[in-house]
A and B are shown apart, each in its own frame.
Chain A
Amino acid sequence: MIILEATDIGISFGGVKAVDGVSFSVGPGQILSIIGPNGAGKTTLFNVVSGVYTAGRGAIRLSGEDVTGLAPHRLAERGLSRTFQNLQIFQRMTACENVMVGRHLRERCSLLPALFRTPSVTRQNRETRAAALALLEDVGLKDAADIPAGSLPYGACKRLEIARALAAEPRVLLLDEPAAGCNAVETEEIDHLIRQVADRGVAVVLVEHDMKLVMKISDRILVLERGRPLVEGTPREVRDDPRVLEAYLGQHGAREAARA
């Protein structure tokens, strides 16, 4: 079964083909990693799939429905959630409120009761906060719940973004370099967390530079080079493919590495 399917995605910025003819699909509980050298188009691909950019060509299907060109909030309604490589947290809100915003689609949000603070609003607020606190506990940030997110350290913000994305109870989760800037222990925690999420049946698409994490966690890996798909396969297949080494290190480097 397939939840998210991207077919022949292409997008150009003023003549530069940032992503060109990339296809992938992922099913429930699967972890697909997208790797490639800097500038390979991984984040651009994420931006297209999550509706932040509009694709020049290609189609995106979510649970069988064509969602090409839909706005990000429409995709969120259909169960797609993501994190960002360059942090996009709500700096002036507390960690807990950040995650509470993640529950936006699970909340009733009518204006008049909100203005007059009816009991139902207060009750819903309590429930949302409880759910947010549980998620913060999952990512190890429970003690930071009432601290402004802007004053949290980098690694904590990364995990806060994951908690916020999970708060929406997504069916597909796109993680853009969740382990970047994290130490070995934090990376281990994130590894554990991603596995947990996948075990619950969420389809995970991961962009990551930490190869140890990628090789350990992925069901399949898609390698991009200069916006084009290079190799797709299991971690073992990708690791042994000489083209992948070449993409990262260049021809000369690949020969050196083969000798080493």
Chain B
Amino acid sequence: MRVLANQRFLTLAILAVVIAVLPFVFPSSYYFRVASLVWVSALAAVGLNILMGQAGQVSLGHAAFFGIGAYAVAIGPAHLGIPSWAALLIGALLSAVLAYLVGRPILRLKGHYLAIATLGLGVLVALVITTESSWTGGPDGMPVERLTLFGWRVSGSSTWYWVTGGLLLVGTWIALNLDETPTGRAFRALHDSEVAAQVVGVDVARFKLQAFVIAAVYASLAGSALAFMNGFINPDQAGFLHSVELVTMVVLGGLGSVLGSIVGAAVLITLPQALTVFQEYEHLLLGLIIIVAMIFMRNGIVPSLSSLLVRKARS
């Protein structure tokens, strides 16, 4: 327990220090933008890790919730006259309700039915966003009104760097909190053995559903944050490729590791930026790096490196 408590503290401390120090080494505002993008994606990945890494369920349509969050803050103020901050909350609520309605019948079944159901949900949501162009601007996307909080207009890349960094810090804190509670233990238990979790009294279907709803809310909030930050949103954010990207972040960083999800997001966002110098070989190299990383670090970047460090320290 003491080890776990330290890990929790360590993760938060590392993250806080990184967020605080990075701006001092950034040569231009472009880096602020990339880093903010990392924090936003990491927020969604940390949430998805609760579902995938802790409770062991796969969602292949998680970008749908990201999209709902993003379009809620776009459509709410533009078409319905809802203030931005309220639209953000409505988007999160909408995502939670949708996750509940989809998850409730599916998660009673054993096996990876959730992956299939969410795959369908993702396609469906993306389709609705693309076709309902009078509301969403269709494939071209739509502008998002700037967020205003208590008369303060939140804008500028360095401002958003701090806002998204703060959001990620809170999201990480909550995810780490969950780990050492009856709920968090129930998630991990049903991941390892559903039948054993059941016979000690864990209502497996209920806890899977909780994990799914939590993950959906994380994604929705991350989507809203990205929409505010960019001031513009398009259907790609809700698309299948983005869903796969989110899953890749969690797996690459290390299933079950909160820090891993953040590292996974950082790698997947920054690597393509770094690889642009290779021009047409960019995607080839990106794929190659991911494949090699998964071969040599099968448990993901963070768990593999930390066990390597422990072994080095012992010998």
Contacts and interface: CB of A to CB of B under 8 A. Distances in A.
A146 B183 contact: no
Given A75-B199, A91-B192, 15 more contacts: A52-B198, A88-B196, A90-B189, A90-B197, A92-B256, A96-B1, A102-B200, A108-B182, A109-B181, A109-B182, A109-B186, A114-B181, A115-B178, A165-B199, A165-B200
A34 interface: no
Contact of A121 (B181, B188, B193, B202): B181
Contacts of A109: 181-183, 186
A184 interface: no
Contact of A76 (B1, B192, B199): B199
Residue of A75, A96, A111, A146 most packed against chain B (CB within 10 A) = A111
A101 B199 contact: no
A139 B198 CA distance: 22
Contacts of B186: 101, 104, 109
10 contacts: A52-B198, A73-B203, A88-B193, A101-B197, A108-B182, A114-B181, A114-B182, A114-B184, A146-B3, A164-B200
Contacts of B177: 114-117
Interface string A23-48: 00000000000000000000000000
Contact of B189 (A93, A114, A124): A93
A71 interface: yes
A127 B295 CA distance: 42
B178 A50 contact: no
Interface stretch (A55-63, A77-85, A192-200, A205-213): A77-85
A214 B84 CA distance: 70
A164 B202 CA distance: 13
A125 interface: yes
Contacts of A164: 196, 200
Given A73-B201, A77-B201, A89 B183 contact: no
A116 B174 contact: yes
A114 B200 contact: no
B201 A114 contact: no
Contacts of B132: none
B180 interface: yes
A105 B201 contact: yes
B202 A104 contact: yes
A69 interface: no
A3 interface: no
Contact of B188 (A82, A89, A90): A90
Contacts of B196: 84, 88-90, 164
Contact of A72 (B178, B180, B184, B198): B198
A124 B183 CA distance: 13
B237 interface: no
Residue of B183, B184, B192, B196 most packed against chain A (CB within 10 A) = B196
B192 A93 contact: yes
Given A92-B256, A104-B186, A82 B199 contact: yes
A121 B182 CA distance: 9
A77 B185 CA distance: 18
Contact of A114 (B183, B198, B202, B256): B183
A88 to B, nearest CB: 4
A146 B1 contact: yes
Contacts of A116: 174, 177
A97 B1 CA distance: 9
Interface string A153-183: 0000000000011011000000000000000
A102 B185 CA distance: 10
Given A52-B199, A109-B182, A167-B200, A93 B188 contact: yes
Contact of B181 (A75, A82, A125): A125
A246 interface: no
Contacts of A72: 195, 198-199
Interface in B198-239: 198-204, 210
A107 interface: yes
A114 B185 contact: no
A108 B186 CA distance: 12
Contacts of B1: 96, 129, 146
Nearest to A72: B198
Q: Which 4 A-B pairs have the closest CB atoms?
A: A76-B201, A88-B196, A114-B181, A72-B198
B251 to A, nearest CB: 16
B13 to A, nearest CB: 16
